Amino acid sequence: MSRLVIVSNRVPVPDKGGIAPAGGLAVALKAALEERGGIWMGWSGKSSGEHEPQPLARLQQGNITYALTDLTDTDVEEYYHGFANRVLWPICHYRLDLAEYGRKEMAGYFRVNRFFAHRLAPLIEPDDLIWVHDYHLIPLAAELRQMGLKNRIGFFLHIPWPPADVLFTMPVHEQIMRGLSHYDVVGFQTDHDLENFAGCLRREGIGDELGEGRYSAHGRTFKGGAYPISIETAAFAEFAQRAATNSMVKKARQSIEGRSLIIGVDRLDYSKGITQRIDAFERFILANPAQQGRVTYLQITPKSRSEVPEYEAMQRTVAEQAGRVNGALSAVDWVPIRYINRSVGRHVLAGLYRLGKVGLVTPLRDGMNLVAKEYVAAQNPDDPGVLVLSRFAGAARELKGSLLVNPYDIEGTANAMARALSMPLEERKERWEMMMDHLLEHDVSRWCRDFLKDLAP
């Protein structure tokens, strides 16, 4: 069996006790690495300032080598904050108004990918499988090919892939498309993303669809496929059941006694539709006076990329909006929105999901959205909650038992909340079982196996 080499922008390094950070993706990739042996390489998250980074820092855990590199301040600013998060991220989420293209940042993005390639290449053995993750590292295969590597290299995009008219607004779209053609397998979250990618090839006249998932572009033939990422479903369900005894979860349950809980959990990002969601909750309360004092909306939103001005501004906007709604609707014994602007441990989150009568997952655009899948997995089979899900999340392609909404339609989302809270038990069970059966079969381990099966020669 070929050794596996995973490359991602950040690496979930185990702590001194050998415990890796929790999370379905980290669990699945770590399991694949343990089975095959291999390397997980990426940025340490640290800066070397103005000095050239030291050689790779390596940590051995069993038959896995974690290989980490620092980046200079200039690299971090241009590659990470600049091109990756202020050009690729907004464009892939259809937010052309927020894309700030600069030649300096574009050059930094390609330069850091070349730097990664030069640090990675000496570690590679001839039959290694290389699996590159996400939008930060699209040009990496091209750089490795230029250095003479013939290995099988796969790429998985965790965020959406936009249609041609959106992608082509980016001045370097040709280089990005060319970069993807150097992989042997290019994986997307959904069939819609794959269709958008094929449309970009056709529109630009740079490639052909050969059938059976094969594509040709820039003189290379490669496979393109949809591989919907998932969670460790059975383990998370057990996790949520055990979380009921957690002291913080117990306090939360006592604090909402007699009230229904609506829960939203999102990283603070403009793609998540948080402001529209708060508007929809306000509309729901105003349209359903009987619910005043009988429902609590808990929004957990850890800070995100606060070095990027758009995110700092958004943090203020969301806090002000939640404050305005609470000021207008609160009673002496009831605050409608509880807004938490910090991280909550996954063990506590699992218990809070289980308390939620409604899971509110309404991004304006999302590659997949694993919160939707975690919410479903966390439910009590005897009394499951209802998932209200944006039709623009990748998860909507799979979770057919959810109530699908258009997050731009404030009234429609408010009506979905009302429907979810009044839904009979039998219908809730039927919808939940349909989604849970799917998630048990299509868990994160299967996602990992399916991709590696296509990547292996």
Residue positions annotated with a catalytic role: 158, 366
Q: E-strand spans in 50-201?
A: 57-61, 64-71, 129-133, 152-156, 185-188
Antiparallel, parallel or unpaired: β 64-71 and 57-61: antiparallel
- Using an 8 Å Cβ cutoff, are 169 and 99 in contact? yes
Angle between helices 425-441 and 233-243 (to 10 degrees): 130
Q: Interior CA angle at 256 toward 255 and 261, to 5°?
A: 140
Q: How far apart are CA 285 and CA 295, in angstroms?
A: 9
- The one-letter amino acid code at 335 reads V
| Nearest alpha carbon to residue 102 among 78, 80, 85 | 78
Contacts of 158 (CB under 8 A, 6+ apart): 133, 134, 135, 189, 229, 367, 368
Q: Which residues contact 136 (CB under 8 A, 6 or more apart)?
A: 8, 9, 79, 80, 84
Q: Which of 195, 158, 220, 197 is nearest to 26 (CA)?
A: 158
